[in-house]
Every structure is written in C-alpha cells, then in structure tokens.
C-alpha cells in the first residue's frame, strides 16, 4: 500500500482481505497504463487487474471538442 500511495498518480482507496481498490491517473511524466504495469513488480503483489477506464479530453482538446 505504501508503494502505491508513494507513486505519483496512484492512490489506495480501500483495502480488505488482501485486496485493494486503487485509482491510477496519468501524470505529466507517465501514463496510467505504465504505472499499472509497474505495480506488477511491487513485492507482494500477485495480480493487477484494470476494472474500469475513463478518459476525458483536457485543456485545449476539451475546448475543441465542445459543441458550439
């Protein structure tokens, strides 16, 4: 849990019976998908499964995609 919370973009929200609920967000330096792959290398982690993925455009992309 400490390793995930120490990762920029990663946050543990719940922990029960050996499982965790974690959110991972893109940062300026790393994609969430890269961070998820790195979590497989944390000692004690047996499996990481992406359950839900949400994407919204941000900044100029968000403004450009809005209807007039």
Render pLDDT for 12-62 as a digit per residue (tens, 0 to 9): 999 999 889 999 988 999 998 899 999 999 998 888 888 877 777 776 665
- Of residues 36 and 68, more confidence is placed in 36
The closest alpha carbon to 48, from 60, 32, 62, 63, belongs to: 32
Please state, in angstroms and rounded to a whole number, the distance separating the CA atoms of residues 1 and 16: 12
Token representation of residue 16: 């029960």
At 63 the pLDDT is 60
- CB-based burial of residue 24 (10 Å sphere; 0-12 exposed, 13-18 middle, 19+ buried)? buried
pTM: 0.66
């Amino acid at each position: 849990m400490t390793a995930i919370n120490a990762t920029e973009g990663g946050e543990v929200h719940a922990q029960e019976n050996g499982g965790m609920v974690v959110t991972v967000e893109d940062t300026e330096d790393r994609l969430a998908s890269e961070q998820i792959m790195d979590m497989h290398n944390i000692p004690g982690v047996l499996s990481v499964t992406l359950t839900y993925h949400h994407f919204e455009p941000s900044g100029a992309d968000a403004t450009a995609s809005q209807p007039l």
